[in-house]
Amino acid sequence: MICAMIGAMLIGLIKAMRPRQWVKNVLIFAAVVFDRKLRNFPALIDTILGFVVFCLIASAVYLINDLTDIEADRQHPQKRHRPIASGEIPVWATWLAVVILLGVSFPLAYWLSPLFATVCAAYFFLNLAYSIWLKHVVLVDVLVLASFYVIRVMAGVTIIDVERFSPWLYLSTTFLALFMGIGKRRAELFMAQETGVNHRKVLHSYSLEYLDQLITIVLTISILAYSLYTFSAENLPENHIMMLTIPFVIYGIFRYLYLIQVEGHGEAPEEVLFNDRPFQVNLMFWAASVLAIFYIF
């Protein structure tokens, strides 16, 4: 009986750690890929370890967020089924898991690189500030959401000795992340209007029309920033073959926009990656093209 209860609690804890969202942390590999060090075994191993560390810290953040939002999640049609909101995991067990995750991840992060540990700490404390306060501040909330993606890229840069990582990639990541963050708010607002249940106070400060205007602005800049990267970064082939990847980026943005505004998705960006086949196929073609250009041609 006790073993069954412990087993059920562990399963619920793993679900609450949201391993599906770890896919966001692959941005840590941007440095080793775009700096052309994928064949550098020590750099690759360090990046993999950094990915694991960041996943542990991110999971601790998700647990804290669920603890902070437990009452709001219980009013949400989907989030009320989360392990913590539903009572599947006791609050005390959740806090114990947070302590263990942080106690393991931060020493390992410092061992990899003190600067990497600093970036991880910035990510963690910014998440705490977001959960407690910043998510209720209009516009600041989406800016902070976008910063989490940029910090993941920065984390990868601090693990290895970067020589040719273009700042254009930071800019592209920033605006693509803003696009997803604003799209997330739009999906949440759309659901709130459809169901009559508003689980975020900040949604009262937005309108669908305003968010659509913001989306138009950031997606335009996203395409422009990535296009400029493909022919201005120093470590790219001189024949500008990297520009051939632009159509994949444009299609990916248009497809995500379609899912947000037509299909009503976008509340959970990682679900788009796992569930939308056209988006997945396009992403694989883009990744294969980038790897071929950097490491074959």
**Whether residues 176 and 276 fall in one domain:** yes
Is 18 contained in some domain?
yes
CA distance 86 to 93: 14
Same domain, 134 and 248: no
User: What pLDDT is stored for residue 71 in this prediction?
Assistant: 67
In a domain, 160, yes or no: yes
Task: Look at residue 206 and tell me if it is in a domain.
Answer: yes
Tell me which residue range forms the domain holding 132: 9-165
Structure tokens at 72: 């709001």
Do 253 and 133 lie in one domain? The reply is no
Tell me the CA distances in angstroms from 120 to 25, 64, 114, 180, one per residue in order: 12, 16, 10, 22
Predicted structure pTM score: 0.89
pLDDT tens, N- to C-terminus, the chain (297 residues):
566 556 667 787 888 888 888 999 999 999 999 988 998 999 999 999 999 999 999 999 988 888 887 766 666 666 666 777 766 777 888 889 999 999 999 999 999 999 999 999 999 999 999 988 898 899 999 999 999 999 999 999 999 988 778 889 999 999 999 999 999 898 888 888 877 666 678 888 899 999 999 999 999 999 999 999 998 877 787 888 999 999 999 999 999 999 888 887 767 777 777 888 999 999 999 999 999 998 887
Let me know if residue 2 belongs to a domain.
no
Same domain assignment for residues 156 and 287:
no
Q: For residue 118, which amino acid is it?
A: T
1 assigned to some structural domain: no
Is there a single domain that holds both residue 32 and residue 144? Answer: yes
* Residues 173, 294 within the same domain: yes
Total number of domains constituting the chain: 2
Q: What is the DSSP letter of 244?
A: G
Is 98 in contact with 64 (CB distance < 8 Å)? yes
Per-residue exposure over 123-154, b if at least 16 CB sit within 10 Å of its own CB, e if not: bbebbeebbeebbeeeeebbebbbbbbbbbbb
Same domain, 201 and 133: no
- CB-CB neighbours of 29 under 10 Å: 19
Shared domain check, 193 and 150: no
Q: Which long-range contacts (CB under 8 A, 24 or more apart) does 200-207 make?
A: 200/72, 200/135, 201/136, 202/135, 202/136, 202/137, 202/138, 202/141, 205/138, 206/138
pLDDT of residue 159: 94
At residue 32, the pLDDT reads: 93
Please check whether residues 125 and 249 belong to one and the same domain: no
pLDDT at 51: 96
Count the neighbouring beta carbons within 10 Å of the beta carbon of residue 236: 20
First-last CA distance in the chain? 60
Report pLDDT for 239.
82
What CATH number corresponds to the domain at position 80? 1.10.357.140
Domain-embedded: residue 4 = no
Please give the pLDDT value at position 3: 62
Do the domain assignments include residue 83?
A: yes
Domain boundary among 165, 190, 224: 165
Q: Same domain, yes or no, for 184 and 268?
A: yes
Residue 3 inside a domain? The answer is no
Q: Which of 142, 165, 188 is the last residue of a domain?
A: 165
Quote the longest CA-to-CA distance of the chain.
67
Give the per-residue pLDDT at 91.
80
